[in-house]
Structure 1
């Protein structure tokens, strides 16, 4: 019905209540809070009323509420789906585009938090902080000269994906440790990579020359399994692998084998294919692995920023404005037709 108030559905809670406060203060959008424990029919009925779906992160998201082709087909009035953070692998973007639905993320809102976490893993691995902490806790005396570390100063970092997070890692490494920064990002020109403070390289060169390889790209069909036995075999035996992006970009069996064979020196992993990983996961048995439960982007500051940016973006969407973090701009003409049918006015023209 034209002229109706837009409605946004979300499950359980936002990662910071500032989003709900901001949307309530604006008053132009209604919120539908759903509960995973409610009957599926109740949740389906609520989602049928929604024009927007604020989807939860993968770890907290329950089936069948992933934004896959089935959900999209079942709820044809949805106009927009937004992710909690920069990742949007819980959303079938192609299915959304085919149905005239825009997809947005919160890219940049947690960049500082994730970048700091990636560099913290580099420091922890190079200084052997986890291995020595474990050693001190054991009953036998620690031979401290058995744990020499390394400096980050003037080492080489290779960054896979030079977006908001990768660019910030480059800045911290370059200015804080005088590191040489190499980057591989096929979606940026060499000039753009240089402007972001890195040397543009192909993947082979990044792997061959880097002391630390940091993964900061989305998980897509192109990047799934990108770091396999071949990739690890092209790294220095003294190099460390860092992934704060998404599980599945590295093959966990191949990484385990590379660590066991000392093909590489260590790994810092904030992400796994199944999260959280099982307690007996082979990677967790290695002293040269730092494992975290996908928390790199979860600081008080970043949760606030992600929630506020999501709220502001939702308000802008239903004002008919172009969202700042639009993932599938090719859908805009079809989306505008659907938006006008729902609300009686047409969104802005997409700028080239």
Structure 2
């Protein structure tokens, strides 16, 4: 991202306020270079909120797209909040299938990849009632037209397994605003496709602060900024976006034989010479990139080394690179999986801390709204 630029904003809700869902305000929302410098200069001054829905196993795209960066931020000294939004599972499906199992597996993945439970707050959405109470006043700050217009929601609706769109799906971005603002997070790691959701959060924070200022002139909520990871998007084995729900991913928890089988079936092309050309050869380039990420090399170096080896040599290189990179992570995960009680202790401690913060924030909201 580039350095930030202040952008003038309207002072109240309107049909055009978030028409592009943050794209007009992109330079202000996602100034990665400046944010990265400020985080390094004073990491303890920042609080990050991020998380994953418990709908299935996390995969390599999650690791290179977000998990690795979360660990980096925590090691720098940034305060980390990891929400497992179990209520949001039913935004695009009728039932929350295997919810407890998926929740514990998320905690497993977090800890195995390097998240320190003694320094991070890991909690479930449903365990923090005060967080969800923020949704009601927040919904009063956005219009129905704005909810309908959100491009990320439109995409999620298109891929929903439900016959009809439910109300939770439509209000999903506002629910995310409550997730972020209850702990007053100022940084949110996101992909570009999630920027419209974050702009809703910034809009909610701004409108709340304008409508309900503290008597002393201070504001209740920060306007969080995006931290965009520099890692390129990894494609699934079918050449589409890697996704838990599309059956084209390689789970973090997969063993080495399963990883080899999945990569063997990955889509390539008929050109024997291996090159790195994301625009012209997306599937081949995706595999080259995956090997490069695992080996901490450039994709061009990997492609040049394979040369005329063809798809078989490429898949062999990628399989070896993935299994080598994830071997210690998978070993750590297996150790943690043997003590499910520890995973529940991590969630219990995180939920207690999240509840204390959410209760304090809700009390402050009620005070400025005059509802005490």
Higher helix share goes to which structure? 2
Structure having greater relative contact order (Cα 8 Å, sep ≥ 6): 2
Higher strand share goes to which structure? 1
Answer yes or no: same fold by TM over 0.5: no
User: Structure 1 length as normaliser, TM-score?
Assistant: 0.30
